[in-house]
Amino acid sequence: ETGVTQTPRHLVMGMTNKKSLKCEQHLGHNAMYWYKQSAKKPLELMFVYSLEERVENNSVPSRFSPECPNSSHLFLHLHTLQPEDSALYLCASSQYRVPLSSYNSPLHFGNGTRLTVT
């Protein structure tokens, strides 16, 4: 049983559709992340939220819109996607800004949403 839950597990959508990916963490963490995993490429960080504020946005196209209503939930709203956006989207959580001298919380990942854009 993972502490980070993602739904749906699979999603197929057309380029004109609007859909949302959902992530929920039960670990008491204060930071949440969206990563994109494409074949034969390193995981790409898309967004970071800490204490419900977006602290990082890695030049992600505006057709991806994140929302973090509270520290336990994270959404990724999708609209007018392109076929090249097909990928595995991974959500993760961690404890953010732990002092350097102490143990730093690693990321805990969900099972991902496999997105196919047709």
Tokens of 34: 């969206």
Q: Min. distance of Cβ 5 from other proteins in angstroms?
A: 10
Q: Which stretch binds other proteins (CB under 8 A): 17-25, 60-68, 71-79, 104-112?
A: 104-112
Measured between alpha carbons, how far is residue 106 from residues 31, 56, 101 in Å? 11, 17, 15
| Residue 29: half-sphere exposure toward Cβ, Cα within 13 Å | 28
Q: Which of 40, 53, 69, 83 binds other proteins (CB under 8 A)?
A: 40
Give me the amino acid identity at 92: A
Task: For other proteins, give the closer residue by CB, 50 or 71.
Answer: 50
Q: Which stretch binds other proteins (CB under 8 A): 18-26, 61-69, 70-78, 101-109?
A: 101-109
